[in-house]
């Protein structure tokens, strides 16, 4: 059943605005209305980041722009929202590397296991000179503009009946992954049986035993209440992940030069603030919440998993030379 749309409106007023052909039509003499579609639930820091970004745009545009935030996949799964960015029928999204890799394959390397040393290294890579040409291709060829990079968190394996401590424990295990090739490749490298399932179907897939396990960051285990249908939090730390705050290029080009500058500056601001928030949450509150929900932490042999990933890098679907280059990037 299609979910009821309950957008949270941040209302602003703008006299004499030009007509808009993007995600939402603007009334004559009214504000420019834009839509942000995200798959994350309301109990997720990205939802709060989206609302804060909308507030920054409201304030900075002096009432010229409304951003309506639709969480929890109300506008569709990420693949649908991303296609709508290109069309200009949705204005903003928070995109995973795996989804963007369907368009520009280079994004996929960022979801390779154990590629980043820490969050600072990750942000330098994805927003630095190495990836600027990749972002420009995405903008020119697919009409999607990157505004900034948000830290998602470190991904871990969650299971109901089996503890995963070593690669041998994961071997052959049917594990839910996003419907994105880099995630499939990553778990093939680690010896599992990756099964692509949309994020919105994750809970039922675990509840009904369609898969034996899943993997995600703390916030995306909490958001869809995965802790209700799993027992073990296996601390594999296999992927350190970022997402991108994106805007439709068609929408961006309807803005004045001043509004474009505002979008760029405030996009960078919320990504910086959101990343700092997530680092703090991950170290404390989110982990403790999962323990409070009854999840049992399991220490995994991260060194053994990392060694296996690097052993299986050639022929994995990831660019081995680029993997090495990123690990050495300063």
Q: What is the pLDDT of residues 264-299, one digit of tens each?
A: 999 999 999 999 999 999 999 999 999 999 999 999
* pLDDT tens per residue across span 65-119: 999 999 999 999 999 999 999 999 999 999 999 999 999 999 999 999 999 999 9
What would the pLDDT profile of 22-61 be if each residue is shown by its tens digit?
444 444 568 999 999 999 999 899 999 999 999 999 999 9
Residue 61's SS3 state is coil
Q: Is the pLDDT of residue 328 over 90?
A: yes
Using alpha carbons only, give the angle 119, 82, 27 rounded to the nearest 5 degrees. Answer: 115
Model pLDDT, residue 330:
86
Residue ranges covered by each domain of the chain: 8-328
Cα(224)–Cα(72) distance, integer angstroms: 9
Q: The tokens 């424990």 sit on which residue?
A: 169
pLDDT (tens digit, 9 = 90+) per residue, 138-186? 999 999 999 999 999 999 999 999 999 999 999 999 999 999 999 999 9
Which among 325, 204, 270, 224 is positioned nearest to 55, based on CA atoms? 270
pLDDT digit string (tens) for 186-226?
999 999 999 999 999 999 999 999 999 999 999 999 989 99
Q: Which CATH number fits domain 8-328: 3.30.70.60, 3.30.1540.10, 3.40.190.170, 3.30.1370.160?
A: 3.40.190.170
In DSSP terms, which residues pair with 195 in a beta bridge? 176
In this model, does residue 18 exceed pLDDT 70?
no
Position 259 pLDDT exceeds 50: yes
- CA angle centred on 199, ends 230 and 220, rounded to 5°: 60
Tell me how far the alpha carbon of residue 300 is from its chain's centroid. 24
The mean per-residue pLDDT over the stretch 111-135 comes to 98
- CA distance linking residue 212 with residue 45, whole number of Å: 27
Residue among 135, 125, 169 at smallest CA distance from 328: 125
Is the model's pTM score more than 0.85? yes
pLDDT at 256 over 80: yes
Query: CA–CA separation, 83 vs 77, rounded Å?
Result: 10
């Amino acid at each position: 059943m299609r979910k009821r749309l309950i957008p949270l409106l941040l209302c602003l007023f703008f006299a004499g605005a030009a007509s808009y052909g993007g995600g939402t039509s603007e009334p004559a003499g009214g504000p420019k209305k834009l839509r942000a579609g995200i798959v994350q639930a309301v109990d997720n820091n990205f939802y709060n980041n989206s609302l804060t970004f909308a507030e920054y745009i409201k304030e900075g545009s002096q009432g010229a722009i409304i951003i309506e935030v639709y969480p929890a996949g109300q506008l569709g799964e990420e693949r649908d929202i991303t296609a709508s960015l290109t069309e200009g029928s949705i204005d903003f999204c928070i995109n995973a590397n795996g989804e963007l890799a369907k368009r520009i394959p280079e994004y996929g390397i960022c979801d390779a296991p154990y590629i980043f040393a820490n969050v600072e290294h990750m942000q330098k890579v994805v927003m630095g000179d190495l990836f600027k040409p990749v972002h420009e291709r995405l903008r020119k060829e697919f009409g999607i503009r990157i505004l900034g990079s948000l830290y998602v968190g470190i991904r871990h394996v969650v299971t109901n009946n089996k503890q995963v401590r070593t690669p041998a424990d994961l071997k052959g295990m049917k594990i839910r992954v996003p419907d994105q090739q880099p995630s499939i490749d990553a778990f093939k490298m680690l010896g599992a049986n990756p099964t692509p399932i949309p994020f919105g179907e994750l809970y039922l897939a675990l509840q009904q035993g369609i898969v034996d396990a899943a993997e995600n960051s703390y916030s995306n285990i909490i958001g869809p209440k995965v802790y209700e249908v799993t027992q073990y939090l296996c601390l594999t730390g296999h992927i350190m992940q970022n997402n991108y705050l994106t805007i439709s290029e068609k929408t961006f080009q309807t803005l004045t030069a001043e509004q474009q500058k505002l979008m760029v500056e405030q996009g960078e601001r919320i990504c910086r603030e959101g990343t700092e928030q997530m680092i703090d949450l991950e170290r404390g509150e989110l982990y403790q919440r999962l323990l409070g929900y009854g999840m049992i932490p399991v220490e995994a042999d991260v060194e053994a998993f990392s060694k296996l990933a690097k052993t299986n890098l050639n022929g994995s679907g990831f660019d081995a030379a680029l993997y090495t280059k990123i690990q050495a990037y300063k």
